[in-house]
Structures are given as C-alpha cells and as structure tokens.
Structure 1
Amino acid sequence: MVTVLDTVAKQRPRHPEKAHRPDQEVLRKPEWIRVKAPTSRGYMETREIVKSNKLVTVCEEAGCPNIGECWEKKHATFMIMGEICTRACAFCNVATGIPTALDPNEPESVARAVREMGLSHVVITSVDRDDLADGGAQHFVEVIQALRATSPNTTIEILTPDFLRKEGALEKVVAARPDVFNHNLETVPSNYLTVRPGARYFHSIRLLQRVKELDPTIFTKSGIMVGLGEERNEVLQLMDDLRTADVDFLTIGQYLQPTRKHHPVKRFVTPDEFKSYETIAYTKGFLMVSSSPLTRSSHHAGEDFERLRAARAAKLAVRELA
C-alpha cells in the first residue's frame, strides 16, 4: 500500500545535510500506524492555495501522516520564516543550513491564505532561526497582527522555537496574545543529547511556565513523541514537569523515522499504551490530552481548542461552586 509518507517523499527533495547517522534498518509499521496517500479534491485545493501564496507548511516539510485528512478539510499548519532550520534535530525532516532572509510579505500571504481557506482556527509554526537577534519573535508578532486584521474571528495557535538565549523574545510574542502558545518538548530529557541536541529541556519547561506568568489567559500546550527509547517512568515525570509549569494541553504521538539517516524508531507503542498515558495525564490535571499513534501537535487543533476552552470554563465553574 502506498502511504502518505511515500507520497510526500516523492513530492519534495531530500536533504542530504540531515544525515545524522549511517543507514539503519527501519522497523515495519504496524497496521494501526498506516494511512492512505492523499488524493481527494479538498487536498488538491488546499495544495493549490498554499502554492499560489508561496507558503511553506510543516505538513509537507515534516512528512506528516495526517496531511491527507487535514488538507481534505482545508486545514494546514503554516511554517513561517522559510524552510531551512538552523538546528539539526535527529528526528526532524526539515532542511538544516543557512536560512534565507525573512520575507516581509509573508505575514500578509499567510493571512490571505487563512482567509481563502475560511479557517476558524489556525496553527502557525516556524523553523528555528538562531541566526536572528530575536529568534524570529517579531515575525511571529507580525503574522499574528496580520491574522487579527484580516480574520478577527479566527483563533490563533502558535508553535514556537525555544528562543534560547534570545532575551525579550518570548515577552514580545506573548504580548501579541495568541490564543494558544505551544512549544514541544519532543522527548524525555535523557534523549536530548541524541534527539534534540540544540535544545535544553529545563529551558523549554521554564519557557512554558513563563508564558503563564506573563498572561494566565493564554492556553499553553506541549507535545512529545514516543518510540525513541524512552522509559515509561520518564514520560510520567515529564508530565509532572509540565504540570509544574501549569501547561494545559499535552499531546503524545508515535515517532516515525523520516529516512534511514534519522534517529531510528526503537519501538511502536501500542494504542492501549497511548490510552493509558492519556488516562494518567488527565489524573495529573491537564485540561486536554491527545494521545494516540497518529497524534500530532496540530492534528484536530480547531476541535481541540473548543474542547480546551470548554474544559477551562467547566473547571472555573466548579471552583465558583466550591
């Protein structure tokens, strides 16, 4: 069966600079992780809108397995500030290298595409831009402002880099008041040296905590991949760390190895294990949890945002009655 990952791989060039390690045997995917290649009319229409506005999506760049489902519904996650990242995470299929200059027209292009798609909720992410003095914070602000001006009823979710060693960058983005501030931990701390070498686990925890300190009304969100060799107790500790930072929403999905040059899949976590993680996360106090093999940060983001808002309202109502 041709899968969505096979199709995306043929549509976009490979990135030889992402050769983190020698070719390794790729584990055969179980049935529960397989999806069909996208062919629907809605998918083609979304692809044309993205192309005509000269935009980049993480859906394509990361080879997301849900691209067919999301694009059929005209949902896409826009990746701003180019398609070249300044970091080389071992799990990621985005190109690494020297980025090009920022496109000053990109905020308006993103806003136009969102209006054309009629999105009620949009997710904006980016490559890491360690080359910029503010890590691209001002560009995030300009995209948010353009969206507010053209689609004032659209809720905005951002998935940001860690702004490591970029003083004042986070404060600038929070001041633009996105509805959801997402920053992914990606994996447990013991994996950082091999999986996410350019990042620092506790810096990312602190960044999420700082968002809540600056503006408690903004929903915070983080996600991890499993199947990278983590232990179950490490995942549970990570949940506790996120709750200490008052994070509202946790996503957990299966890591899928983009190419033989990337970090190998150590194992495929079963759907029952994902369900167990979801149950435990709710007991720890998260307002929302999405945990399944095909869960990704922005998958069903619009529907999840409505559920997240409802969960907060219910929690506040309980407090008032107490």
Structure 2
Amino acid sequence: MVTVLDRTNGLPRARHPEKARREDTLKLAKPDWIRVKAPGSPVWRETNEIVRANKLVTVCEEAGCPNIGECWSKKHATFMILGDTCTRACAFCNVRTGMPEAVDAGEPERVADAVAKLGLHHVVITSVDRDDLADGGAKHFADVIGAIRRASPQTTIEILTPDFLRKDGALETVVAAKPDVFNHNLECVPSLYLTVRPGARYFHSLRLLQRVKELDPEIFTKSGIMVGLGEERNEVLQLMDDLRSADVDFLTIGQYLQPTKKHHAVMRFVTPDEFRSYETMAYAKSFLMVSASPLTRSSHHAGEDFARLKAARAARRPAAVAAE
C-alpha cells in the first residue's frame, strides 16, 4: 500500500497502489507535441453550419477529437449515425452511454445531402454501438452508403463500424453495400480489454476484419489502436501480427487522451520517436499503409490516405503477379 497524509487530520492513511498510480497519472502534463490550435476559421464555421442545418452528429465533436479544427477547416467531417447514445460504456470513450432513441429513417438522406454540400471526395461514416437493435444498425449503415452513392457517385466511402457482436448476418449486410474502406478499431491490446473495452471481444473483432476480406477481397480493411493506456511494446507488436494474419491493409496508432477524470487515465505520453518506430515495424510486417503519430486518429487525413492506399495496392500487385 502507498501511505499519504489525510488532508482532514494530517494522519497517515493507506492508498491502494492501483488507485495511487491512476491518481498520479492525472497529473501528467500534455507535452508540446500533443497540443493543437483551437478551431474557428471561416471554413470551419461553414462546415459547422452545414452539420447543424442537416441535424447531424459528428464523432469529431462527440469524442472530443483534437483534430477538429484542422479537419473542419478543410470541410472534412466524420458523421456519426444511429444517434448520439451508445449502449456500451468503454473506459476511453466520451460518447454518451444509455438507451438510444429509435433509428431516424431520414438520416441517410440528410447525411448524403451534407456530403454533397460539402463537396467531399471521401467521407467517413461511423456510429455508436447499437446492441439494442437486432442487426446492430447494419441495415442503416447500408442505407447511408446507398444514399451517398446516389447523391455523390464520385465520393469514396469509408465506414468505421462497431463489432456487431452476436448479430448474425449484420456484417454481410454492410459488406454487400460495398464501402471502399471497412474500418473496425481494436482500440487497445488484448490484455487491456476487460478494463478499457469490457463490452467487446478482441478475437471477435479480429475475426470480423478477416471476414470482410473473405466476403469481398477488394474492400480495403483498416484498424486502429490507442497507446498510452498501459500497454507494453511487445503487446503492440503482437497485435500488428494478429492484424496481418487477418489480412488488414491499414493500421493507425495514436496517443490516448483522457476525456474526463472518470475515464481511464493516461498512463504515459508516447514520444514521437516511439511512434516512428511503431510505423517502421508495421511497414516491415507488410501493412499497405500505416499512420502512427501522437495526433493520429482513425479518420484523420482519411481522403489523402485512401489515395495512398490505392497506390500502394497497385504497386504491390504487379510484384505478386510476377512472383506467381
């Protein structure tokens, strides 16, 4: 046990080691490399107005993304469908938890309208977990993809989905809608799942990503994790191997930032050099694309990354044909 002075009477009192460690990490100051500029440019305000006019929810706001100023100033926004209330309570996430409202049947058309008004070449669509729905919201994902295809045929579509745990046929419904990129984040190494992502199952998420490739090999698959949650380096490297075994194309690694004192503490701030090392190792393990930096997030620079992802696949395919 850790001994500290009781503020009420000055006498020693015991503090549980784990609680002491978490309390101490709350005192960690953000290093210079994690700081960003506050939003507020004219284009940011225009993006904000379009989001509000279409009564849409964005993960940029709900999750408190540090890149919102940069992305919205480029008219890049990640739309969060199926409401703003999640049926799970992950220890890292700032999205509201509770019983969600009924699915909004008009949402797909409003999302498509916003995509058209923003002139997006690439759009990212994500959602809360909807364990209350028989299909986990899979049909709604497909409806949104279809609406965007009709309104903006040239726009490429990236989806960031929940795990559809115990929802038979849900994944097949989403894949049949043919998104260009299917992203599902592992979020953290498996040893942290019980504390960080208790409602999910690590190997189910891996199998989900693998199954996408089995259903449609042309769809790019993508997954991401946060670091600074208490993981060990060797655990991150093993996770990379697991993702490659599932034939995942694109890996993102970013610094975890604690939304509130009620959430999982930041155990440490990973240095830019460590992120560069992770990126080097991931490329050595044959990912097509890797984005690893303190401010990397799943949808950050998604449009530019999609173009690079296609180029990387095209460059690798001739070599594969020659090897045959």
The alignment's TM-score, normalised by the length of structure 2, stands at 0.92
Could you list the per-position Cα deviations for residues 135-171 of structure 1 after superposition, in whole angstroms to 9, with x for gaps in the alignment? 0000000000000001000000000000000000001
Q: Distance in 2 between matches of 1:227 and 1:311?
A: 29
1:318 Cα deviation from its structure 2 partner: 1.7
1:5 match: none
Q: Secondary structure at the match of 1:303?
A: helix
Residue 33 of structure 2 aligns with which residue?
A: 32
The answer to whether the aligner puts 1:50 opposite 2:61 as a matched pair is no
Distance 1:85 1:268 in 2: 28
Rounded to whole Å, the distance in 2 between the matches of 1:254 and 1:298 is 14
CA distance, structure 1, for counterparts of residue 177 and residue 72 of structure 2: 27
Return the letter of the residue paired with 1:306: A
Structure number with greater Rg is: 2
Aligned position for 1:94: 95
CA distance in structure 2 between the aligned counterparts of 1:300 and 1:237, rounded to whole angstroms: 26
Deviation at 1:226, TM superposition (A): 0.1
SS at match of 1:289: strand
The corresponding residue for 2:115 is 114
| RMSD of aligned residue pairs (Cα, Å) | 1.1
Partner of 1:12: none
CA distance in 1, matches of 2:76, 2:29: 29
CA distance in 2, matches of 1:317, 1:126: 36
Q: What is the deviation of 1:69?
A: 0.2
Distance 2:321 2:124 in 1: 32
Match of 1:168 in 2: 169
Q: Is the 8 A contact 1:115 1:150 kept in 2?
A: yes
The letter for the 2-side match of 1:271 is: P
1:195 aligns with 2:213: no
Q: 4+ residue stretches of structure 1 with deviation over 6 A?
A: none
Separation of aligned partners in 2, 1:32 and 1:223 = 20
Match of 2:315 in 1: 314
Describe how 1:210-229 pairs up with structure 2 within 5 A. 210-229=211-230
1:76-104 CA-partner distances (Å, limit 9, x unpaired): 00000000000000000000000000110
Task: Work out whether residues 26 and 260 of structure 1, in 8 Å CA contact, stay in contact via their aligned partners in 2.
Answer: no
Task: Find the counterpart in structure 1 of residue 73 from structure 2.
Answer: 72
Equivalent position SS for 1:247: coil
In the alignment, the residues of structure 2 paired with residue 30 and residue 204 of structure 1 have an alpha-carbon distance, to the nearest angstrom, of 32
- What secondary structure is seen at the aligned counterpart in 2 of 1:42? helix
Count, aligned residues: 302
5 Å matches for 1:171-186?
A: 171-186=172-187
Q: Secondary structure at the match of 1:100?
A: coil
Q: Deviations over 1:207-226 (max 9, x none)?
A: 00000000000000000000
TM-score of the superposed pair, with normalisation by structure 1: 0.92
1 CA distance for matches of 2:179 and 2:81? 15
Distance of 2:59 and 2:183 partners within structure 1: 15
Q: Aligned equivalents of 1:27 and 1:44: distance in 2?
A: 32
- Aligned residues: percent identity? 78
1:215-254 pair list within 5 angstroms? 215-254=216-255
CA distance in 1, matches of 2:86, 2:44: 26
For residue 81 of structure 2, what is the amino acid of its counterpart?
I
Listed one character per residue, the Cα deviations across residues 8-35 of structure 1 (whole Å, up to 9, x for unaligned) are xxxxxxxxxxxxx999424210000000
Give the residue type in structure 2 aligned to 1:60.
Answer: E
Matched residue SS, 1:156: strand
Measured after TM superposition, the shift of residue 320 of structure 1 is 2.9
3-state SS of the aligned residue for 1:44? helix
Q: Which runs of 5+ in 2 are unaligned?
A: 1-18
Aligned partner of 1:316: which letter? R
Q: For residue 54 of structure 1, give the secondary structure of its aligned residue in structure 2.
A: coil
Aligned to 1:8: none
Deviation at 1:39, TM superposition (A): 1.4
Instruction: Give the match for residue 302 of structure 2.
Output: 301
Which residue of structure 1 lines up, in the alignment, with residue 283 of structure 2? Answer: 282
User: How far apart, in 1, do the equivalents of 2:54 and 2:243 lie?
Assistant: 37
- Matched residues in 2 for 1:39 and 1:113: separation? 20
How far apart in 2 are the matches of 1:224 and 1:74?
25
Local SS of the residue matching 1:32: helix
Output the CA distance in 1 between the equivalents of 2:321 and 2:166. 41
